[in-house]
Amino acid sequence: MWQAEVRVDLDAVRENVTRLRAGTSAELMAVVKGDGYGHGMLPVARAALDAGATYLGVCTLDEALTLRRAGLTVPVLAWLLAPGLPLHEGVAADVELSAASLDQLREMVEAGRRAGRPARVHLKLDTGLSRGGATAADWPALAEAAAKAQADGEIEVVGLWSHFAYADAPGHPTIDKQVVAFREGVAVAERLGITPRYRHIANSAAILTRPDAHFDLVRAGIAMYGLSPVPGERYGLRPAMTARARVILSKRVPAGEGVSYGHTYITERETTLAVVPLGYADGVPRHASNAGPIELGGRVRRIAGRVCMDQVVLDCGDDPVVAGDVATLFGAGEHGEPTADDWAEAVGTINYEIVTRFGSTRVPRIYDGARA
C-alpha cells in the first residue's frame, strides 16, 4: 500500500519526443537537467533516446558523468561550469563542454591536456538573454582563440550555440533580433575558420514555433515532458507526471474553526476536512496555501489554509470522504484532475517549477509505460 507517489509515464515522453522530431529536420537534444525536470534523469533519457533523440543536455558536470556511468554513450553537453572543476574527467568521459569566455576556454584546453585528448567544446554566444554566453564585443576574441586551439589540436569545436529570452511569446520582436545576432555570430566564427557540425539556439518554444531557428540541432526541454512552453497552447503534448496521495484522516468540524497554521482559513459551516500527506518538503509550493487545486472524490478543491511541511488540508463540505481516498494534485488532465499548468496559474509561477519541485523528495517515483 502506498501513501504518496509521483508517477511518470515514459510512453508520454516517447510520444512527445516523436512529435517534436516530426516537426524538424534537425537532430534533437533531450534536455534532462534537474533530474529530468523532476521526472528522473536516467529513465527519461533512455525513453527520449528510444524515440529518436540523438543528444543529451545537462547543466552540471556531475549530471553528465552520471549519464556516462549509467552506460549512455550518445553525445552529452554540459553547460554550467564553475572555475576549478575537474573538467579533465568530463573530457576523458567524452562529455562536451560549453565555453563562453577566454578563461573557460583555457580551462578546457588544460583539461584536454590532462585527459590526453582534445576537449570537445561548444562556444556560447549571448544574443540577448544577457545570461550565459560571450557578448558580441567579446565573441571575436573567443572565436579566434578557439580557432587557434583547434588548429593546435587542443580542442575540437563541436558547436556554436545561444539561448532565446522570449521564445515562449511567439512574435515578440526579440526573437527575430536574436536569430539575426546568432547568424552574425556564426558568420564571425566561420570567417575565423570555425565550421562546427552543430549550430543550435532553438529551445522547446522555438522548436514548436520557429522552424527557421532550428539549424542543425534543437534542444527539447519542457515540451519533452508534455508541458507547453507557450501559455494557452497545447501542441498535442501529453504531460508525463502525476502527483497524488491518499487521505490519511477525515473528520467533521463545526463552523468557525481555524484550519492549519495561522488560521488563514476559517470554516464557514460544519464541514468535513481531509488531511492529505504532501507538503512543501515534498514539492508543494507554500504559495499554494488557500489556492492549490487538488482533485478528491471527483471534485477539484482548493487547499484550505497554509501548506505545511508534510501535509495539506482540504475542505470537503458534506461530501463522503474517508481515509484512503486518492487525492490527485496534478496529472495529464484527462480525467478532470488539475494539471501542472493549473498549479502554475494558481501560485503565480510556471509549469517547469511545479514538476521540478517533485524531483528530489521523499515521495517515490513510479514509472509506467513500455520498458518502465
C-beta separation of 185 from 160 below 8 A: yes
C-beta separation of 133 from 162 below 8 A: yes
265 assigned to active site: no
Q: How far apart, in whole angstroms, are the C-alpha atoms of residue 281 and residue 308?
A: 8
Map residue 356 onto helix, strand or coil. helix
Q: Which of 55, 148, 251, 261 is catalytic?
A: 261
DSSP string covering 64-82, please?
HHHHHHTT--S-EEE----
Beta bridge partners of residue 249, listed in sequence order = 275
User: What Å distances lie between residue 348 and 86, 284, 342, CA to CA?
Assistant: 39, 13, 10
C-beta separation of 167 from 209 below 8 A: yes
Q: Which residue has the cell 545576432?
A: 181
124 assigned to active site: no
Q: Which of 33, 37, 55, 235 is catalytic?
A: 33
C-beta separation of 269 from 255 below 8 A: yes
Q: Which residue has the cell 492529505?
A: 276
DSSP string covering 93-135, please?
TTEEEEE-SHHHHHHHHHHHHHHTSPEEEEEEB-SSS-SSSB-
Provide the annotated active-site residues. Answer: 33, 261
